[in-house]
Structure 1
Amino acid sequence: MAWKTLDDMELDGKVVLCRVDINVPVKDGAVTDDTRIRRIVPTVKDIVAAGGKPVLLAHFGRPKGERVPDMSLAIVRPALEAALDLPVSFAEDCIGAPAKQAVAALEPGQVLLLENTRYHAEETRNEPMFAASLAALGDVYCNDAFSAAHRAHGSTEGIARLLPSCAGRLMQAELSALEAALGAPERPVVAVVGGAKVSTKLDLLGNLVAKVNHLVIGGGMANTFLAAQGVDVGKSLAEHEMADTAREILAKAEDAGCEIVLPRDIVVAREFAANAANETVEVNACPSDAMILDAGPETVAYIQGVIENARTLIMNGPLGVFEMEPFQKGTFAMLDVIAGQTGAGSLTSVAGGGDTVAAINASGHGEDFTYISTAGGAFLEWMEGKTLPGVAALEG
């Protein structure tokens, strides 16, 4: 762990510039889901408890360097105050006189929210002068926005080079979880990767086969691999043009000693609809007018056995069309075992990605993983083995 945490910093009497992700959904002028806001509470509270003055840096939407009224962070201030149970003041800019005056007026026990950093085009261009203008407002920089760490922006990368820097509690938890899952994991390691397209996850698959013992492939991606092996997948979603690539990944996995787990039996239907008439058949018996919508019970039982013998699991994607009855059965049955093994202390389980989190929540296991990342692109790039600029900057 080359990066520092809040525990390594002297915060008493210091202005702490804290990059957070509070890019939350809003409807009719009110926040509709405050999950991201609630997740920054430990960091802000710990800064206040240590005598520091938290000044929050954040983006909201994509204003592309323009002042777009609908993308003002002022809209999240009431939800911030409610979550933090602390007074939150607001500055109409993140640099210059409005920001300086608001920082100077900040009292101990108060929080300051600065206006949308992306109102300035220099933010996304990571221009040194803009980063310096941000840094001039504070004494310490704390990055608690792992979800923005894959962007080399002024408020995520540039400023970290100019001030004593550390990870916030959410960033610390995310990095620790990912290190446990892929950096120095307990073996055997299982990765579950699903989704529609192989083409969007080539880097991910290529990185994982060299790092995990078992790679479970589900969803439309599995159909592409089956088709590449000569299996007729009927009208299933599949990227037939990716056949050569799929075969290359299979060969790479074999060389690395990684078992790729593909469906052995499948649940098929002739229409893509909830409660469509369906049947379970062997993987090589998909009717030409049907589509594969879930893994079959034999496949799920095999996956469950792999998970029961594993010590570490990382998940990015479901096994089937979990949004529709009854094609969620395979994914949910797998999640039951992951949750059980995690609860028993036998498995470290880390998951991330929009569909993945939705599937976990729909199965009722939202509290049963070791760690669930809401970081989206940053989580995926970490799994792909890429360097995240916001993290690298903390490592100095």
Structure 2
Amino acid sequence: MAKLTVEDLQLEGKKVLMRVDFNVPIKDGVIGNDNRIVAALPTIKYVIEHGGRAILLSHLGRVKKEEDKPGLSMRPVAERLSNLLNKPVTFVPTTEGKQLEDAIAKLQNGQVLVMENTRYEDVEDGEYVKRESGNDPELGKYWASLGDVFVNDAFGTAHRAHASNVGISANMEQAAAGFLMEKEIKFIGGAVDNPAHPFVAILGGAKVSDKIGVIDNLLGKADKVIIGGGMTYTFYAAKGIKIGNSLVEEDKIDLAKEIIEKAGDKLVLPVDSVVAEKFSNDVESKVVENDIPDGYMALDIGPKSVELFKNVLQDAKTVVWNGPMGVFEMSNYAEGTLEIGKFLGTLSDATTIVGGGDSTAAVQQLGVADSLTHISTGGGASLEYLEGKTLPGIAAISEK
């Protein structure tokens, strides 16, 4: 069944509750990166252009004690949103009560209101009570009472059952997906459920344990699964290849052996590595094939691995990439990640989907983001979706 979307709703004159993902980096009241705010603009604009009164809810960071609140206020976010929309945005510094209710009552068609960080509700009288993140039924019911319809555009929290997504949905006659959520369902859900073949998954990052569910699920769906990043060396250890001082999860070596046996030639591992004696950008590095010398650690894939991966990818019709190929934050070990990102930008006949902070940063740094089909806004949500899990935030959206 297809999900209800914002385009299916009658918006004129309606109070439209919108769960957005404005969980942006803020330091000393200054927003470091506003990509998530920008990503929500199409849905917000659609609502207000169609006469809706937009009431935006989002969490920001983790609020575990009273002292966390001042640094995690949504006020700077509301100000940035106002600049991006080029129109006033009402900010209400609370999540419950008369001040919020009065402000909503004053909203006119086409106006926007941002309420305070939903996770302020997780701390009450100095205690960490997790009302929002614990999906308190009364809180979800209260927030639902503030609007006429509900639009969920926050894929980044879709893997969590919170009061501001699942709780509101449970108390609304109609819960619809925003444009951003709709894209995530279409592309990531489509890649998992009905990909065009050849389908190639690229999985990087430090730990096998973080990606085991994804690897297991995708081995049953993909034609090839490329492995990069630190978790490579747990697979190396499982194959009896020397890993020097490289990152390894000793307790996952047997699991890696099982994956190798199950995968057969579907699993593609690096054939060379960039290694150094220290986890540092300031030491000499070198490229070695297969065995990592004693005293060295692998910090990126090498040039032969890049070429191998490109050969696997060149005929792909669907590509999903999650996780870096090396220690991307250090320039000496970013080459593998950057080369893969650059190559994906050339695959004009493929559906290319990127998720995860470092891989997303890589394609943005390269300026190839616009040539890819979809850049996911969800880290944990993308991973769980790729695992084939049912995401509570998506399940709570009404069917058409």
Bin for the TM-score computed over the shorter chain: over 0.9
Residue 47 of structure 2 contacts residue 110 of structure 2 at CA under 8 Å; is this kept in 1? Answer: no
Cα distance in structure 2, aligned partners of 1:324 and 1:71: 29
Q: CA deviation at 1:281?
A: 3.0
> Which blocks of at least 5 consecutive residues in structure 2 are unaligned?
123-130
SS in 2 for 1:356: helix
Cα distance in structure 2, aligned partners of 1:384 and 1:108: 41
Aligned counterpart, 1:375: 378
Equivalent of 1:169, from 141, 158, 179? 179
1:74–1:337: structure 2 CA closer, same or farther, 3 Å change rule?
Answer: closer
Equivalent of 1:253, from 252, 258, 263? 263
> Which blocks of at least 5 consecutive residues in structure 1 are unaligned?
none
Cα distance in structure 2, aligned partners of 1:264 and 1:234: 15
Cα distance in structure 1, aligned partners of 2:245 and 2:96: 55
TM-score, normalised with respect to structure 1: 0.92
> Could you tell me the percent identity over the aligned residues?
44
Aligned amino acid, residue 23 of structure 2: N
Identify which range, 382-391 or 321-330, moves more after superposition: 321-330
Identify which range, 176-185 or 131-140, moves more after superposition: 176-185
Q: CA deviation at 1:123?
A: 1.9
- Alpha-carbon displacement from aligned partner over 1:198-223 (angstroms, at most 9, x marks no partner): 12222122112112110110111111
Residue 275 of structure 1 contacts residue 324 of structure 1 at CA under 8 Å; is this kept in 2? Answer: no
1:139 corresponds to 2:145: no
Q: CA deviation at 1:275?
A: 6.2
Residue 158 of structure 2 contacts residue 394 of structure 2 at CA under 8 Å; is this kept in 1? Answer: yes
Identify which range, 184-193 or 69-78, moves more after superposition: 69-78
1:34–1:325: structure 2 CA closer, same or farther, 3 Å change rule?
Answer: closer
Aligned counterpart, 1:234: 244
Residue 65 of structure 1 contacts residue 118 of structure 1 at CA under 8 Å; is this kept in 2? Answer: no
Q: CA deviation at 1:325?
A: 4.1
SS in 2 for 1:40: helix
Aligned amino acid, residue 22 of structure 1: F
Aligned counterpart, 2:299: 293
Aligned counterpart, 2:194: 184
- How many residues are aligned here? 389
Cα distance in structure 1, aligned partners of 2:341 and 2:40: 27
Residue 294 of structure 1 contacts residue 319 of structure 1 at CA under 8 Å; is this kept in 2? Answer: yes
Aligned amino acid, residue 280 of structure 1: V
Q: CA deviation at 1:328?
A: 2.6
Aligned counterpart, 1:59: 59
Report the aligned-residue RMSD: 1.9
Aligned counterpart, 2:272: 265
Identify which range, 67-76 or 307-316, moves more after superposition: 67-76
Aligned amino acid, residue 177 of structure 1: F
1:70–1:330: structure 2 CA closer, same or farther, 3 Å change rule?
Answer: closer
1:123 corresponds to 2:123: no
1:144–1:332: structure 2 CA closer, same or farther, 3 Å change rule?
Answer: same
Q: CA deviation at 1:269?
A: 2.8
1:363–1:75: structure 2 CA closer, same or farther, 3 Å change rule?
Answer: closer
Aligned amino acid, residue 103 of structure 1: I
Aligned amino acid, residue 28 of structure 2: D
Cα distance in structure 1, aligned partners of 2:132 and 2:176: 20
